[in-house]
Amino acid sequence: MAIRAVLRMGDARLWAQAQPVETFDSPELHDLVADMEDTMRHLDGAGLAAPQIGVGRRVVIFGFEQNPRYPAAGSVPFTVLINPVLTPISDETEEGWEGCLSVPGLRGSVPRWRHLHYTGFDPFGRRFERTVDGFHARVVQHECDHLDGILYPMRIKDFTSFGFIDAFGPESTGLPTD
């Protein structure tokens, strides 16, 4: 398939509400997912949402292996999540560093639900659900925000924890979220 250009913050398509996928197991959907995976892996991202490559559909992908530089982040299984529904399962939130392929060169500390339940569909239309926490929960929230036109800087509360990666000290080099 193909590596696609990733839209950057400022492009109006990133602010749009994405539409649900209505037809599963179609060549178009499989091609979209393949392009997203090629693009994410090429850029060494942890996740990617369809609107980031200019496709206004409710499709996200994410996942990565254990990174020895960030042992606390653990691994997240590679997942294709379509028409997701997210439900926090406690009021608890936590701050954590995020980056975004649409906001290159920057990092910010973002509050997210710590414990999360999510459901959705795979490309074949099979429904699945998971209960997750920590970085897995963070990645899902970050990617699914893209489907509602939300980029992580819009979630930041403390702007002293938002800036250029190369201007921060080493403590802020957390795993990029996508």
Contact residues: Ni ion, CB under 5 A: 100, 178
Could you tell me the smallest distance in angstroms from the CB atom of residue 2 to Ni ion?
A: 20
Q: Identify residue 118 by its one-letter amino acid code.
A: Y
Cα–chain-centroid distance for residue 42? 16
3-state DSSP call for residue 45? coil
Q: CB of 174 within 8 A of CB of 97? A: yes
Rg (CA), the chain: 15
Q: CB of 162 within 8 A of CB of 156? A: yes
Could you tell me the smallest distance in angstroms from the CB atom of residue 101 to Ni ion?
A: 6
Cβ nearer to Ni ion, comparing 35 with 178: 178
Q: Identify residue 173 by its one-letter amino acid code.
A: T
Exposure class string for 59-86: b at 16+ Cβ within 10 A, else e: bbbbbbeeeeeeeebeebeebbbbbbeb
Cβ nearer to Ni ion, comparing 89 with 161: 161
Q: Which residues are catalytic?
A: 143
Cβ nearer to Ni ion, comparing 10 with 68: 10
Nearest position to Ni ion, beta carbon: 100
Cβ nearer to Ni ion, comparing 111 with 125: 111
Could you tell me the smallest distance in angstroms from the CB atom of residue 149 to Ni ion?
A: 12
> Which candidate, 83, 89, 88, 90, places its Cα nearest to that of 128?
83
Could you tell me the smallest distance in angstroms from the CB atom of residue 100 to Ni ion?
A: 3
Distances in Å between the Cα of 121 and the Cα atoms of 25, 50, 70, 124 are: 11, 15, 29, 8
